Homo-oligomer: A and B are copies of this chain.
Amino acid sequence: MGYTYEYPRPALTVDCVIFGLDGRDLKVLLIERALEPFKGKWALPGGFVNMEENLYDAALRELEEETGVKDVFIEQLFTFGEPGRDPRGRVVSVAYYALVNLKEHPIQASSDARNAAWFPVDELPKLAFDHDAIADMAIKRLRGKVVYQPIGFELLPKKFTLTQLQNLYETVLGVRVNKRNFRTKILKMDILEQCERQQGVAHRPAFLYRFNEGKYKELLEKGFVFEIGGFVKNEQ
């Protein structure tokens, strides 16, 4: 009974740092561990990789099993393999990060009755295993990547206003941006498609925009480089 190999092998898991944008807060979804080790501690959702699935699929599967979230952007972050990172023995974990739109993907109470909650990125509790380091790297990666790849849109609804988009950058990067300059820059890129206006707001309704991925890829071919940020702190 069991599986025998000539040489010892580490166990292989995937863990996922799930980012969501909630009003003006960037948040991470954590799960309360139901079992030892670290029972009762907050941790990243994750689990063991099956033998017949690839890593990407494993991350998506664990994400759905533990949070009900599916059809979201995920990307490999880093592989963590310090010998002592799991008290049960050698466990190597391939970490992913996910970007979800909180409005369109409400988190379900976990299917295995574990407790799940969103925490603002700068108020994370002490996490199980080395998940602090994983979350930390994910935040840095997101901050670094959001300025030169158009992945921020994944945190917003399909259609969004320019102010929402600006708030996204301000929140993720932790800076204030000048409205005039932000708009000029993002619109000049010509990767946003203008849609209808907002409705039912107590002020002048804003235009909604959609990220035009086709146009973006077309521009990429011609040597276009997406780049937003490098903004100066302005307006307090």
> Which chain A residues have a beta carbon within 8 Å of chain B's beta carbons?
2-12, 48-49, 51-55, 76, 78-79, 81-83, 90, 92, 94, 148, 225, 230
On whether the beta carbons of B53 and A83 are closer than 8 Å, the reply is yes
State A7–B2 Cα separation when bound (angstroms): 6
Verify A12–B76 contact, CB threshold 8 A: no
Task: Give the complex CA separation of A92 and B3 in angstroms.
Answer: 17
Q: Would A4 and B2 count as touching, CB distance under 8 A?
A: yes
Q: For the complex, what is the distance from the CA of A49 to the CA of B10, rounded to whole Å?
A: 9
In the bound complex, do residue A52 and residue B83 qualify as a contact, i.e. CB atoms below 8 Å apart?
yes
Question: In the bound complex, what is the Cα–Cα distance between A92 and B73 (angstroms)?
Answer: 23
Tell whether A79 pairs with B51 under 8 Å between CB atoms, given A3-B9, A5-B9, A12-B9. Answer: no
A9 touches B9 (CB 8 A): yes
User: Which of chain B's residues have a CB closer than 8 A to the CB of A4?
Assistant: 2-5
Instruction: Give which listed residue, B3, B55, B81, B83, contacts A5 with CB less than 8 A.
Output: B3
B148 & A92 in contact (Cβ 8 Å cutoff): no
- Which residue of B10, B53, B148 contacts A51 across the interface (Cβ within 8 Å)? B10
Q: Are the C-beta atoms of B79 and A54 separated by less than 8 Å?
A: no
A-B contact pairs, 8 of them (CB 8 A): A3-B5, A5-B9, A12-B81, A49-B92, A51-B90, A54-B81, A54-B83, A76-B79
Q: Is the CB of A83 within 8 A of B51?
A: yes
Min CB distance A102 to B, Å, is 29
Excluding A3-B9, A5-B9, A9-B11, 7 further A-B contacts by CB distance (< 8 Å) are: A3-B4, A4-B4, A9-B10, A12-B81, A12-B92, A92-B94, A148-B148
